[in-house]
Structure 1
Amino acid sequence: MRENRTMTSDAASSVSVPTTSSSTSVAGRRAYRGRVVLPHDVLDDGAVVVDGTTIVWVGRVAEAAAAGHGEAVAAAGEPQPGTTILPGLVDLHDHGGGGASFPDAGDADTARVAVREHLAHGTTSLVASLVTAPRDVLLARTAMLADLADAGEIAGIHLEGPFLSRDRCGAQNPADMLAGDPKLVRAIADASRGHLVTMTVAPEIAGVQEPGGVIETLVEVGAIPSLGHTDAHWSVTEGAIAVGSAALDGAGATARSSRLTATHLFNGMRPLHHRDPGPIAACLEAAKRGKVVVELVGDGTHLDPGTVATVFELVGADAIALVTDAMAAAGMPDGSYQLGPMAVVVAGGVARLADGSAEGGSIAGGTAHLIDVVRHTVAAGIPLPDAVRAASLTPAGVLGRSDVGALEAGRRADLVVTGPDLAVRSVVRAGETVA
């Protein structure tokens, strides 16, 4: 499979990437200093050295000279108080931001507004998410987003639907939801030109987990099935996990990852009950067994901090992908927005369907950036390396990407330089300062 197990943080601290010329490479190297967040540790006085588009060394400042990077690190000077350096963040589930919505963007320039909004806040690898819509809309939007993926501006495409439960539709149009249709999956995959990375499906929908159904077809076309927007019972969910796991195992090296995902666990699902455990218990158990990565929208709105902390304790950061589920209002003021065909009102930073009631309808996506989700997760009591890993290395593994997701030598130079309370100061993507 393409999910690569890369070097540990200890190895990343001491291994350098060879360069062709010491004089040229020293002149071209740039160093970033501060607290450096590794996958399992924090270097309180650390440095990240970049040469071109690549990280060439990560370690403690005191070790830089011996590693041959003393000149570059010295040139960086003393960092500002509170400086903390994170890897570029990886968001697997993002519908938009900056006033633009991927499900509603008719052209690539509009979609880029959302990409740039999240990039400026530290998300250097973003998966653009669509919602349930008619076939022609899904195909057109997928093809448009594939252009951005071809250009390297997004990391892939996620479809949230259309094979979902009408009883758990959330902020999606139930009228456009369909029975499982493998032919439509193949058409979407063709339109994506290899960039379809995940699709959310409800296990109980006819045609989803049957032999030759949607789950097996998704794996066949190189995408990862994600379970969500479901009213399924525990046994039905367990069955879908077994089908997906078997398909991924059978795909071997061609699969992006060995694990399914669960779309925003808890949200859009039959609730957990002690006599009816439903999909939540099944996904948590499978995550503990290494079969599922669960998404958590840990933005302080979708989940109580205690819920986030409990899931981290149960399954660990290596089985959690923090996501935003962001919509057009991310980074924008309160007001009226669209999420596909659904009208949304944002009040107090919370997006809800505009159903005419005083309190509003269902939560309709998020308004936070992924760095905000990391901040909320740390505030819930999760150690900083674990929170960052769940927003970088773990989702990178879902994508099958070994070049992003961590501050390690040999990976792409994606860095987020933050100040106190993880406030973003600058963002570096592929060695270029972009914010």
Structure 2
Amino acid sequence: MTGVRGRLAEAGYRGLLGLTALTDALPPRLRFGHWQSVLSMLRPDDDLPAIPRRAASSRSAGPATPVGDRSAPTCMLVAGELDGGGVEQVISDLALGLPAEGLDVEVATTRSGRVGSALAEAGVRVHVCPPGDLAGLIAERRPDVIELHRPDPALVRAVAGAAAPVIPVFHAVESYLNGRAVAALGALARSAPSCIAVSGGVGRFFAGLTGASRIAVVVNGVAEAGAERAPGRTDARRAVAEAAGAVIDDRDILVVALQRYSDQKNAAGLVDAFLAAAAQDPRLRLVVAGSPDSWLEYRRCDLLRAASPSGHRVHLLGDCDSGTVLAAGDVYALDSFAEGGPLSAVEAALHGLPMVLSDVGFAGDLVGCDGVVGEVVRLPADGQGQKALARVRRRRHQPNRELFAAALVRASRGGRGSSGRVPAPFTIRDMVAGHAAVLEAALA
């Protein structure tokens, strides 16, 4: 879009950079609390267009231990919200897969959404309780071992007094924990029989942050049958085109990104880098699909495309069926500030998509696997601390913009990877077995 509307969008985006700086300056208690209600005023009038999730068979074996059978050791998986996202999917896969390893599983969540409802329908015990009631629930249920999947201070306090051993699971670099939260998490991690990190980088981060010395690395995995259950390319691209309200033909090179609109995921940085790539190759088209955790991040993306002559080739969707989006794609992209083990990148590898990833989590390990085609680009920020991220987020262009754009162009002109297979150890089977080994050691 050019002309007056484009200049107005550019001015609006620069205004949002100021709002971004203010947001990043707030303490976490306000930033992720009441301030989000203020930012919700940026929400568009209509819901984001989305591709409905397809009904599919379970990603892993269902509960092998009958509900209510306490003959097996019981593991409680403590989560935050169980709606959508990579962490939530990992919890779901563990809840469904660990019973086959001889563990009875139940899940505690602060709010049950799509994932929580699906688990309950599959026969998993799902307890919905606020953090303040979690300690009482643990005392009532008396699990033999606990996995904590969120480092939220209220959840850490609740599990710290449990009689059962607690295994903290670190899913991502957490740059927003304050000193008090770090101290509480550190005490829990150091006293734990073991912790689990989803990548070596996350493990090193939390070892330095908490002083924990016993951290096992168990990478996240995906179902090997995922690509087989996805629609064909023609149907998938038709579904994406319908949701995006655009004409997408075979000449278009579809760059797809499955990610939440959030500060950490850096959707705005990806859109800006893509626009630089689209200026080099007008066949490129970007589809971002994910839940809007931050309406500020969504609006940043929206104004970036409105300010660019190539903006009509950027499509911002809501939470979509991942298999359909990946089956429609030609390139997968993730320009995140920080990740642990991005499941969507493993799913993209399963679909054979060439990938462009920022240097986060296990990105380098994944791209280095046989049959996987991809490129790892330097991080958008120099470091993963809150101050480093804040400095970059208020810039008009991020430091890795041109590098990421060039990698997108190269990926669009290269070949695909081996479709239909997940490289070890990125399978659900490997992931579940890794968690089971740590849990069994804690119970010994």
TM-score by length of 2: 0.30
TM-score (norm 1): 0.31
The structure carrying a bigger helix percent of its residues is: 2
Name the structure where strand makes up a greater proportion of residues: 1
